[in-house]
Every structure is written in C-alpha cells, then in structure tokens.
C-alpha cells in the first residue's frame, strides 16, 4: 500500500468517525582459518578468509541441486601466473569442520578453475579455497547454496516503491549479498488496483516462465523458489500457492506485513474511498476480512486442507507495543497520528455481528494491518517493535532477517498461538 493511499484511507476513516460514528475503541594442505584477506598464507600453508559475517558479499551464489552445477573461481588475472599448474580445490565441510579435496577441471585460462557436479543436500554458506602447486598464494571463495527468490509487492504499490526505493531496500541488500537480478532473484509486477486472484494467475505464469528460463539456460528442470511478499502480495502469493497448485514450485513463503486474513481497516472505509477514487474498489473488496479471497484461503477443507505442507511459512510484522503516539507518521502523515493514535484496527477472529462488537484498535499492529490478521497458524512469527507497515520494507534489521531466511530456508523459528493476540495477552482485545 502506497503512502498516498494510506493517507487517503486514514483520512476517510477520520471522516467516518466524525460524521458516521465508526467504532472506537557462516589432503594436501591443511588450511587455517585466519584473517579476512582474500589471498594470504599462514606458516607457509594456504589459508582462506574466515567467515566473519553471514551477510558479507558472497563470491558465488548457486542453487540447491542446480542450476549452476558448473562453478568457476577466478584468483589471478595473469596467464603466466597460473600456466601449467594444476589447480587444487578444497571445501570446508560444515558438518565435520574438515577441509575436503574436490576434483576440478583445469583450464589454461588466467586463474580459472571449473568444478562439476556439486550437489548440496541442504542450503547454506560453504567456504572454498583454491590453490596451485608451488608457492603461489591461493584465493578463497564463499558459495551460498540457496533457492532463487521472487519478490511480490502489495496493493497500489509499484515493485520499485516496495523493493528498491529509499536508501535501505531489499533489492540493494540482495545485490550487496551477491544475488544477481534476473538469475538469483526476480521481481513480479501486477496491477495493484486489481483482484489479487487475477494477479495470482499472473504469478503462476511468471513462475512457469522462470522454470523455462532455467531449463533453456542451464538445462535444469527442478527449480523451486522462495517467495517474499508485502501486504496484499500475501493474498496474491498464497492464492497461487494454495489454490492454484503453485506449492510444487515453492519451498518458502515470507510475508512482510501480510494481509493473511485481510485487513480490518479495509472493512471500515471501502465505500467512502470508492467515492474518492473508484480504482480502489476491487482490491478493497478482496482485502476485507470477510472477502471471498480471504475466506477461500481460510477454508481448511479446500484442496490440501489449507496451508501447503511442503512450504515453510514465515510472518514478519511491526507493532507499537511501546505506545508511541506518533507511530505511523512515516507511513501516512498526520491522518495516521490523528486517527490511529498509535494503534491499528483489528477484527476479532471468528467474530460475527456488528463492527462495534468485532472491531477494535490495538497496539499489536503496523498501523494498517493488525498482527492478528497477519498471523498464520504454524508459521514462524517475528515481530519488530516500532516499525510501521511501510517501514518494515526499508529497515535493515528486517531485511537481514529475510536474508537469513533465504539462505537457511529449512530452519525454523519461533511460533506463537492465536491466544497471543486475544485478551488478556492483548489487553486491547474485546473480552
């Protein structure tokens, strides 16, 4: 959701409140891990740089079981330096902490070595050192084994606004980590004013196109993806995964400020917003907590009974549990401060009846989407205090957390139950 529309939404709710009474309330030589240099020796033996940080730039990124089953490492630009000296390559086995000799294909190209058929059984960062006979210094490299990433924006947002605007953004951090756009990560765009289910059709076709790309470019037919989405992008991606068979191509779903169960804020002011801008009508219809899209995703009897069991789900949210009154100003300006007063509209799960009974305002939300509406049963849940709906995408701590999830898709984090968002755990919730 864009800042302009967030302001409009909150302003319209303010009008409703005043005039309509909306409800209250990381064999041959034994390297020693040492300094951070790219190329050095210790005691006459070749040593690779140490793994100082999970988020330094990797020299190479590969995918689990491909498509890059041929790797190239470069450590000299002088052909005479490497002439007729067979290369020796070692990989640090993270399970045993021992260096393993890897067979390589020698080439007379300057400082280049190829090795084939590397099939990792799980994602992670692997340390390599390439050496040659004699006293020539080696070079080391890090190879991240992971899955390609697809970024999906939200309602009324452009992909640029969500993933590449401002000084801190997801694309810049992916680039800095060594991911290459168009190979290691892709950006899916769609009509942010349209029906999320229609966008899900487009995403399904987009994934199929990328699988064809991997087949044509790398003869690789088993690619899976990590999906990172924001806001209404949660409805788009989950509909693709859970209702259109997309789960077979997805290994991990990461929702940032996701409208997993809609947005209670959208329950309250869609009709007035339609008067201001008719283009907002369709997405508002489907981001309500009782919309056909939300009910379709919440239906445990559909298909594989709801959530895709082969997909790791992660939910990332913001909250204002510190009760900062100006919370949300970065998101929507004065309307957020005046109307929200630091809180987020929520809807009590399972509640039926008038909004006065089901809707309430809570500090456990990002200003536009309440945590209870983002929460997904069995999903990892990570909450960041003081971050608004639009601030989450441009926070380095959040982005670093996403990067850790991308590089370790099979690891699991903390989960919380629904009762975490109900009274008395949330004193703002009805009781």
pLDDT for residue 101 is more than 80? no
pLDDT for residue 81 is more than 70? no
pLDDT for residue 242 is more than 60? yes
pLDDT for residue 41 is more than 80? no
What's residue 253's pLDDT?
97
Reported for 412-418, long-range contacts at CB under 8 A and 24+ positions apart, including other chains, are: 412/312, 412/380, 413/314, 413/380, 413/381, 413/382, 414/380, 414/381, 414/382, 415/378, 415/379, 415/380, 415/381, 416/375, 416/381, 418/349, 418/372, 418/375, 418/377
pLDDT for residue 362 is more than 60? yes
Q: What band does 25 get if pLDDT is binned at 50, 70 and 90?
A: very low
10 Å CB burial of residue 323 (0-12, 13-18, 19+) is exposed
pLDDT for residue 43 is more than 70? no
Domains and CATH numbers, the chain: 3-25+146-421 (3.40.50.1820), 40-145 (2.60.40)
pLDDT for residue 337 is more than 70? no
Q: What band does 410 get if pLDDT is binned at 50, 70 and 90?
A: confident
Q: What band does 98 get if pLDDT is binned at 50, 70 and 90?
A: confident
What's residue 27's pLDDT?
32
Q: What is d(CA 199, CA 252) in angstroms, rounded to the nearest whole number?
A: 19
Which position has the higher pLDDT, 281 or 221?
Answer: 221
Mean pLDDT of 167-191: 90
* SS3 state of residue 381: strand
Mean pLDDT of 284-305: 77
Percentage with pLDDT > 70 across the chain: 65
What's residue 99's pLDDT?
78
Mean pLDDT of the chain: 75
Helices (H) and strands (E) in the chain, counts: 15, 18
What's residue 20's pLDDT?
39
Mean pLDDT of 166-187: 90
What's residue 217's pLDDT?
77
Residues 298/343, Cβ–Cβ less than 8 Å:
no
Mean pLDDT of 335-349: 78
Q: What band does 139 get if pLDDT is binned at 50, 70 and 90?
A: low
pLDDT for residue 76 is more than 60? no
What's the pTM value of the predicted model, to 2 decimals? 0.81
Mean pLDDT of 128-134: 60
Highest mean pLDDT of the ranges 66-80, 172-186, 319-333: 172-186
pLDDT for residue 18 is more than 60? no
Mean pLDDT of 303-307: 54
Mean pLDDT of 100-110: 60
Among 275, 286, 183, 192, CA closest to 239: 286
Q: What is d(CA 232, CA 392) in angstroms, rounded to the nearest whole number?
A: 14
């Amino acid at each position: 959701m864009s800042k302009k529309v967030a302001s409009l939404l909150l302003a319209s709710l303010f009008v409703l409140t005043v005039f309509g009474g909306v409800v209250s309330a990381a064999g041959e030589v034994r390297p020693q891990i040492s300094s951070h240099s790219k190329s050095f020796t210790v005691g006459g033996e070749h040593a690779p740089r140490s793994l100082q940080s999970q988020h330094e730039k990797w020299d190479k990124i590969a995918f689990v079981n491909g498509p890059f089953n041929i790797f190239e490492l470069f450590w000299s630009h002088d052909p005479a330096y490497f002439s007729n000296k067979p290369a020796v390559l070692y990989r640090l086995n993270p399970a045993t902490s021992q260096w393993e000799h890897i067979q390589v294909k020698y080439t007379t190209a300057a400082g280049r070595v190829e090795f084939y058929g590397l099939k990792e059984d799980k994602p992670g960062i692997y340390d390599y050192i390439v050496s040659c006979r004699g006293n020539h210094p080696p070079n080391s490299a890090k190879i991240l084994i992971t899955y390609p990433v697809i970024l999906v924006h939200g309602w009324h947002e452009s992909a640029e606004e969500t993933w590449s605007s401002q000084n801190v953004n997801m694309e810049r951090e992916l680039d800095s980590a060594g991911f290459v756009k168009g190979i290691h990560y892709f950006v899916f765009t769609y009509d942010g004013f349209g029906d999320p289910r229609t966008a899900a059709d487009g995403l399904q076709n987009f994934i199929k196109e990328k699988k064809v790309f991997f087949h044509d470019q790398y003869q690789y037919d088993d690619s899976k993806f990590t999906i990172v989405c924001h806001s209404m992008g949660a409805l788009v991606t989950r509909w693709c995964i859970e209702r259109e068979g997309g789960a077979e191509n997805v290994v991990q779903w990461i929702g940032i400020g996701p409208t997993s169960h809609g947005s209670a804020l959208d329950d309250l002011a869609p009709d007035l917003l339609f008067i201001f801008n008719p283009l907002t009508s369709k997405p508002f219809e489907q981001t309500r907590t009782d919309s056909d899209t939300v009910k379709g995703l919440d239906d445990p009897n559909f298909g594989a009974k709801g959530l895709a069991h082969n997909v790791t789900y992660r939910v990332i949210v913001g909250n204002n549990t510190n009760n900062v009154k100006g919370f949300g100003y970065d998101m929507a300006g004065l309307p957020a401060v005046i109307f929200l007063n630091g809180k987020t509209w929520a809807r009590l799960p399972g509640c039926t009846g008038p909004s006065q009974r089901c809707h309430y305002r809570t500090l456990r939300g990002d200003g536009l989407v309440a945590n209870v509406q983002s929460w997904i049963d069995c999903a990892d849940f990570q909450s960041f205090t003081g971050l608004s709906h639009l601030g989450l995408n441009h926070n380095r701590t959040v982005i670093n957390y996403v990067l850790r999830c991308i590089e370790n898709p099979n690891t699991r984090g903390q989960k919380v139950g629904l009762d975490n968002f109900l009274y008395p755990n949330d004193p703002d919730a009805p009781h």
